Structure 1
Amino acid sequence: MSPERVFQVLTVLGLAAGGWLYGDYWKKSNLPPLDNDSAATLRAENSELVQRVDTLEEELAQVRSMLSKGPFPVPDDIISWVEKDYDMVFLKNPNVRLASPTKIRDAAHANLRLIYGEVDLENEGLAWELLGLLPPNQRLFTQLLFVNSSGVKGICDLSEQRILLSENFDAMSVPDRSVLVRLLGQLLAYQNYPKKEWGSRDEWQAWEAVHTGSAAAQQSRFLRRNTDTNEASWDDPEPAREQLLNDLEPALQGFCNFPFIEGADFSRYFFIDSRAAWAGMFQNPPSTTAAVLHPNQKEREAIDISFPNSGSEIIHENTIGELGLRLWLEPL
C-alpha cells in the first residue's frame, strides 16, 4: 500500500476509533455514581484509551514525516497522461514532495527572485505607485509572494525544478489531482523549454502565459475528462487563492490572472490547430503580451517611447506591453 494511502487509512481509523472510544467513555462517565471497583475499571479504560490515541498519533506522525521527507508517489497513469497530452516526455523523473506552508512560501520567493530579482521588483513596485497601478505603501513583492503561496495546493519550484504539494493535498480528490496535473505540465514544459532570462516584464509575462496557460488549459482538460467519466462537477481546489486574487488591486489582479485566462486561451489556439503548431509555440514563444492577446495576428515589434529629459532621476525602466497599457488605462 502506498504511503499516502496508509496515511489516509490511519487518519480515518484514528478518528473513528478515537470518537467511538471517547463516546463510550463519556457515556459511562455520565452514569449514576459508581462504586469503587467500577470507578477503578473506568479509570483503567480511560488510561488504555489515552494510550491507544497516543499510539495512533505517533503512527500518523511517522507516516506524515515519511511523506514530507521522501518523494510523493505520483501515479504512473497521471505522468503518462500529462506526457501524451503535451506530446513531450520528462527529461528527468518529476520530483514531487509534500511541503509545509513555509517551504511553499520559500519556493514562491525563489521563483520571484529567479524571474525578477528582488531589487528590480521593489523598484517596479515604486514605478507602479507613480503610475497609479498600486496604492502607496503596498509592496509589490509582498503581494505577489502572498498570492503565489497562500491557499495553494502546490507550487512548481522553477529554481529547483521540483513540485511541492501542500500538506492538505488529497491524492484521492479529483480537483486536487487536477492541480498536480497542472504543476506537472509546468514542470514538463520547463524541462523541455527552459528560459531563465527575459529582456523585459512584457517578455516574461508572455513566456509565463505560454507555460502557465498551457498547464491551466491541461488542468481543464483533465477535469473535463473526469467529469465526463464520473458525471460529476468539481469545486475549485484552491478557493482561498481565488479570494486573495479577488481582493487585489485591479491592475495586479489583471497581471496575475493573465496567464491563467488569456494564456490558457492562447495555448488552446495552437493545441487545436496541430501538434506542430503546439510544439512551435514552445520553441518560439511570443515575446510580447500583445502576441498572446492576438494569436491570429502576426507579432509586431514593440515601439520605443521616449520622453523629454527633465533632469529627474529614473527610478525604474521596463516594458509593460499591451497588457500593462490596458490595465493602466482601464480605469480611465
Structure 2
Amino acid sequence: MSENAFELDLPQRPRRHRRSDAMRRLVRETEVRTNDLIQPLFVIDGKGGSEEIDSMPGQQRLTIDLLADECSRLFDGGIPAVALFPKLDTSLKSALGKEALNKDTLILRAVRAVKKRCPELLVITDVALDPYTDHGHDGLLNKDGTDIENDHTVEVLMKMAVLNAQAGADFVAPSDMMDGRIGAIREALDEARLTHTSIMAYSAKFSSAYYGPFRDAVGSSKAAGTKLLNKDTYQLDPANRRMAVTETELDEAEGADVLMVKPAGPYLDIIRELRDRTELPVAAYQVSGEYAQIHAAARLGWLDLERTRDESLLSIKRAGADMILSYFAKDFVL
C-alpha cells in the first residue's frame, strides 16, 4: 500500500462505479439476454444422423429428427427462435434452383417437423437460391453467366417465400439482396392470405470475406468452384455506409418487419446507424467467420473462448441490435 497522502480534488471519480461486482452490475447499461438470441441450424436429409462442420467447431448438420430434438432443447432453455438452413445433395442443385420450389423440399419438411414438435418456437427460413443453385449464387444467372437477373430472381423468391410460410415459418428472411424483393414478397404473402407471416429482411448484407465457413456448411462454396462466388454485384460494398442506409430505408418502406445487418462485428457502426434511424426491430447476424476466428484463436490459447464470446455478443447488443443471430447462442444460454 502506498504511503503517499496526496489526493486529487476530483468531483467525479468514475472508478467508484467499478469498485465491486455488485456495483458494476448495478450500473451496467447493456446486457445480452436469452430472449435476444437466435440460433442458426443446418439441416440435411436422412434420419438419425449428423455431420460435423470442420470450419465451425461445435456446429453440426442435423437430420430432421435430430433437428427437431435440438430445437426442443433450445426452446426449453429459453431461446425463442431458430434460423434454418438446408444442405442439399448436389444432385438436387441446378442452374435455376428448381428444388427451391419443390413443395416437399428438405427445408419445408424440416419446418413442418420443428413446428409439430415445438409449435411455440419461432422458425426463420432463408429466402435465397444459393443452397439450390449449382453455381452457388443467390439468384438466377443471365445468359452469359456474368450477373444475376434481378426481376426473374425476385419472381422465384416470391414463390419460395409463400411455400416457406405455408409450411409454418414465422419469419421469411430474404438474404439475396435483390432490388424490390421485400415489397414483392410482402404482396405475395398477403395475396396468399399469409398476412401473419413476418419478413426479416437482410437489409444491409455486405459482400464480406467472413462467410466462408457458412458456404462450406450449406455446400454453396463447392457448387461450381469459388471463382463464381464473387457476389459484389448484389451484396453491399463494405466501404459504403450511406448505401447501407438506403437499402434499409427501402426495405422498411416496402414492408419489412425486421431489418438486419450482416455481418455484425465488423459493422457495428452500421447497426448503430440503423438503430438511430428506424423504429423497427434491428437484427444483427454474427456470421460464421466471426464464430470461427474466435474458436481458432481460443484453440491456439490466444483468447479466452467464453469471455471473448460474451464480449463479442455484448458489443453487438450495445451497438443497438434488438436480436442477434449467433452460432454461440446455444452455448451462451445452455
Q: TM-score range by the shorter chain?
A: under 0.3
Q: Give the TM-score taking structure 2 as reference length.
A: 0.23
Give the structure with higher Rg (CA). Answer: 1
